[in-house]
Amino acid sequence: MGKIKSVKFKLNRFEYVKPFHITNNISYDTENIEVAVELDNGVVGYGEASPSFRVNGEKVAALMGLESVVNDMIVGMDVRQYRQIFDVTDKLFSTPSIKAAVQYAVLDAFSEETGVPVYQILGGAKTKIETDYTISIGSIEERVEEAKQIVERGHNVIKVKVGENLEEDIQAMMAIYEVSKGCKYIVDANTGYTPKQAVKFVTELYRAGIDIHVFEQPVAMHDIEGLKYVRWNSPFPVAADESARTKYDVMRLIREEAVDYVNIKLMKSGISDALAIVEMVKAANLRLMIGCMAESSLGVNQSVHFALGTGAFDFHDLDSPLMLKEPEFRGKYKVDVPYYFV
């Protein structure tokens, strides 16, 4: 029948292979919530929430308490009418990672029932994507060594975390460039700069002949005027990440002409808002990238299928499973670094 019988939450903890350092935050491990949606015919679909207090204001303990709430919301609904379930779960706007995990688990259950992979349910635009790999904040020497290792592993796109020390970030970026020429760079300040600092950063790199493909979230989350200032004074495309959580955020960014790129993360928006954002950004003739929080292979599986299904993204920042110690790989995709494919 395809009707939902139960929704169950399970807490999983994963350690990072090495500490992950971004602006004003260092992570040694992550706690994610596995969501299982069971149908009345025994079929089970899976999703994963990777909560973020920094971006979404979410705490794991609070989210685990939503299991009974979610059951009350969707038990008895038919996954073949998943848009109706999306409309109901859109009410989870204050807990977007749970919204994403539940919505994807519904699609996964529908996929298991019908035998049609989720990426085909979402459009089947591609069968292969390429992920970047991220250099976290550290000493210049540590960042250069990591850049060498990333190149050796075959990655063509490198994401570089900056935002704590402007002058050191400029020096580090120049040093990274020297050992990774030919790669494409996404530079992410994670809200760490003032607008004028951000403009100085990109201007110095431009003068040095270093090309940045995306300059991501240079200023504070709610500083849309600052984001716009950077965009119109930067030689490189500027992206919103923390500033672009919901479709309503993105509508404002488009209206204010504040960005060139929007970074969709399912953990910020859920599946339903992400689908809307794709079409809004396309209509505005802007560009898209897709990112992740700290999802395991089970969680990044959601973004891989979303990216393959929509085919909407220039860049795929989906490297979190490559950074975590996982007892088993649980994605419904294959890995041949730097490629994910089905």
pLDDT in tens, 228-274: 999 999 999 999 999 999 999 999 999 999 999 999 999 999 999 99
Q: Is the peptide bond before 195 cis (omega within 30 degrees of 0)?
A: no
* pLDDT value at residue 61: 95
Known catalytic membership, residue 196 = no
188 is in an annotated binding site: yes
Q: Which residues 6+ apart lie within 8 Å of 68 measured at CB?
A: none
* pLDDT value at residue 26: 87
Find the catalytic residue in 159, 161, 247, 268: 161
Rounded Cα gap, residues 234 and 201, in angstroms: 9
Give 145-199 pLDDT, tens digit per residue: 999 999 999 999 999 999 999 999 999 999 999 999 999 999 999 999 999 999 9
216 is in an annotated binding site: yes
* pLDDT value at residue 24: 83
* pLDDT value at residue 122: 98
The percentage of the chain sitting over the pLDDT mark of 70, rounded to a whole number, equals 100
**pLDDT band, residue 282 (cuts 50/70/90):** very high
Find the catalytic residue in 228, 265, 268, 332: 265
* pLDDT value at residue 162: 97
Rounded Cα gap, residues 80 and 28, in angstroms: 40
Q: What is the mean pLDDT of residues 211-223?
A: 98
The percentage of the chain sitting over the pLDDT mark of 90, rounded to a whole number, equals 98
Q: Which residues 6+ apart lie within 8 Å of 172 measured at CB?
A: 140, 143, 144, 160, 162
* pLDDT value at residue 23: 86
Rounded Cα gap, residues 51 and 49, in angstroms: 6
Q: Which tokens go with 208?
A: 């040095």
Model confidence at 286: pLDDT above 90: yes
Q: What is the mean pLDDT of residues 120-137?
A: 98
In the block, tokens 């030919």 appear at 182
* pLDDT value at residue 12: 98
**pLDDT band, residue 314 (cuts 50/70/90):** very high
What is the Cα 131 distance to its own chain's centre? 11
Q: What angle do CA 250, 254, 257 make, to 5 degrees?
A: 135
* pLDDT value at residue 51: 97
Known catalytic membership, residue 148 = no
Model confidence at 43: pLDDT above 90: yes
What would the 3-class secondary structure string for 133-146 be?
A: EEECCCCHHHHHHH
241 is in an annotated binding site: yes
Whether residue 192 contacts residue 223, with contact meaning beta carbons closer than 8 Å, is answered with no
From residue 8, alpha-carbon distances to 31, 64, 80, 239, 249 in Å are 16, 10, 20, 36, 31
What is the Cα 101 distance to its own chain's centre? 13
Whether residue 130 contacts residue 308, with contact meaning beta carbons closer than 8 Å, is answered with no
Model confidence at 25: pLDDT above 90: no
Give pairs for 328-331: CB < 8 Å, separation 24+. 329/297, 330/46, 330/296, 330/297, 330/298, 330/301, 331/297, 331/298, 331/300, 331/301, 331/304
CA Rg value for the chain: 20
